[in-house]
Amino acid sequence: MKKQEIIFGIHAVEALLQNSPERVIELWLLQGRDDERLAPLVAAAQAVGIKSQRSARKVLDEKADSSQHQGVVARVKAAKVLTENDLDSLMVKLESQQKKPFLLILDGVTDPHNLGACLRNADAAGVHGVIVPKDNSVGLTSVVSKVACGAAEVVPLFQVTNLARTMRYIQEKGVWIVGTAGEADSNVYQADLKDALAIAMGAEGKGLRRLTRESCDSLISIPMAGTVSSLNVSVATGICLFEAVRQRLG
């Protein structure tokens, strides 16, 4: 298991400083960059006693293994990998707070950009946790954190050994699981998404795996009027999550 990792991008590092400053080991900023976007991050680092080092762009590119770092790179202690036990703790906590669980299941999403965008959607929609299979799925990486714009630091990501078994577990806790499938008879706007809910999304093109699909309580589709047959998984996730939000607000 990794003991350290690299986080980069203004929003990702800022969220880290706000939520888990104790994880930051070193912080590098681009030499000569002093603008209003960077000022709050520098102030947040100073407030928790973290000194930043100024470095040339080439150095930051090498540290981040990317040129998309926005002039901010941090070396941090690796985040704890959340598992089934942590999901159980979340369910107990929600029950004690009398909150209806609102979960997102991502089956086979292997692109870090897609996972990052889905986490950002989940954070905006008020999702309590995101569940992914341990295998055949991307975990939290520096690219995921960058794309998630800080959401990776606040939305719990549970990596579970057996997705179908985990789905049965949350069903036993009273959560209704709605899966997305192009051939479903009803669509997202016809579904009742107001109660304890988990929305299951599959990878673009492949969709949900057979066992995952069979473990859902119901299947829904997104109405498609054009010629394309499917949407990017993060776009489809946003549509489904915010239809649930709309219903819950109503």
| C-alpha pair distances (Å), 54 with each of 19, 46, 51, 61, 74 | 23, 14, 10, 13, 12
Is residue 239 a known part of a binding site?
no
- Select from 13, 40, 33 the least CA-distant residue to 149: 13
On whether 231 is known to bind a ligand per the annotation, the reply is: yes
Q: What is the DSSP letter of 17?
A: H
What DSSP line would sit under 76-135, residue for residue? EEPPPPB-HHHHHHHHHHHHHTTPPPEEEEEES---HHHHHHHHHHHHHHT-SEEEEESS
Interatomic CA distance for residues 99 and 90, integer angstroms: 11
Residues belonging to the chain: 250
Tell me how far apart the alpha carbons of residues 121 and 237 are, in angstroms, rounded to a whole number. 7
Tell which residue, 104, 101, 220, has the closest CA to residue 172.
101
* Distance between CA atoms of residues 189 and 212, nearest Å: 22
Give CA–CA dist 171/30, Å, rounded: 48
CA distance 33 to 42: 11
Q: Is 25 assigned a ligand-binding role in the annotation?
A: no
Annotated binding-site residues for S-adenosyl-L-methionine read: 202, 222, 231
Annotated binding-site residues read: 202, 222, 231
